């Protein structure tokens, strides 16, 4: 198991041809107003400055108006999960409402997401890590013993305290600041 590591990074708007400083979260704003925050991995040739222990990408995509966003995934990525944080989006023929998750199939090389209005989605994608997986409820670990330890740590408040999905980003930040993880 990898020891948890936290890096709080400043947001940085990327401009064409400009080098990206270390310890920032790159943000790419498209001409159509779509804003892509690269938490880890890469988007459109721009890479996050965070060192990810696996070959994965986490992208937050914010739509400010009716628009389309496209992203090509590396062929080695076998997993792509889309979570709708705000608004609704269309992927192919499927309309995904707020607080819904879609597990995307590996048909084709490009993800196309369309929005009719404001929306905010999180895309998690990556290569398989080829490790044993044990899950129970919301916990995913490598062994049954690790699952039991994770639940014990959760019950002791070591992972912070749960929050409502209805919190705004600012309310969530305040909640996490008041109830930090012990890791």
Please give the average per-residue pLDDT across 91-105, as a whole number: 94
Q: Using pLDDT thresholds of 50, 70 and 90, give the confidence band for residue 154.
A: confident
Looking at residues 64-72, what average pLDDT do you find? 94
Pair type for strands 94-96 and 46-47: unpaired
Mean pLDDT value across residues 77-105 = 95
What whole-number distance in Å separates Cα of residue 158 and Cα of residue 45?
Answer: 37
What mean pLDDT is reported for the chain? Answer: 87
Rounded Cα distance, 165 and 133, in Å: 27
Say yes or no to pLDDT of 165 above 60.
Answer: yes
Residue with structure tokens 């925050």? 37
SS3 per residue for the chain = CCCCCCCCCEEEECCCCCCCCCCEEEEEECCCCCEEEEEECEECCEECCCCCCCCEEEEEEEECCCEEEEEECCCCCCEEEEEEEECCEEECCEEECCCCEEECCCCCCEEEEEECCCEEEEEEEECCCCCCCEEECCEEECCHHHHHHHHHHHHCCCCCCCCCCCCCHHHHHHHHHHCCCCC
Task: Decide which of 107 and 120 is more confident.
Answer: 120
Q: Are 126 and 148 within 8 A, CB to CB?
A: no
pLDDT for residue 6: 59
C-alpha torsion 81→85→86→91, nearest 10: 0
pLDDT tens for residues 34-66? Answer: 999 999 999 998 888 888 888 999 999 999 999
Report residue 170: phi and psi, to 5°: -65, -40
Pull the structure tokens for residue 30: 């498209």
């Amino acid at each position: 198991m990898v020891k948890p590591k936290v890096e709080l990074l400043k947001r940085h708007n990327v401009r064409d041809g400009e080098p990206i400083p270390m310890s920032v979260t790159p943000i790419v704003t498209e001409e159509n107003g779509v804003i892509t925050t690269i938490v880890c991995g890469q988007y459109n040739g721009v890479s996050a400055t965070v060192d990810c222990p696996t070959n994965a990408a986490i992208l937050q995509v914010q739509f400010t108006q009716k628009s389309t966003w496209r992203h090509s995934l590396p062929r080695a990525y076998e997993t792509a999960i889309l979570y709708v944080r705000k608004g609704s989006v269309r992927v192919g023929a499927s309309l995904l409402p707020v607080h819904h998750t879609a597990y995307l199939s590996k048909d084709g090389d490009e993800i196309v997401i369309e929005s009719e209005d404001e929306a905010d989605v999180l895309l998690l994608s990556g290569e398989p890590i080829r490790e044993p997986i044990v899950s129970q409820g919301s916990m995913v670990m490598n062994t049954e013993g690790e699952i039991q330890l994770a639940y014990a740590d959760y019950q002791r408040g070591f992972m912070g305290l749960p929050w409502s999905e209805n919190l705004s980003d600012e309310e969530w930040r305040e909640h996490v600041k008041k109830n930090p993880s012990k890791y």
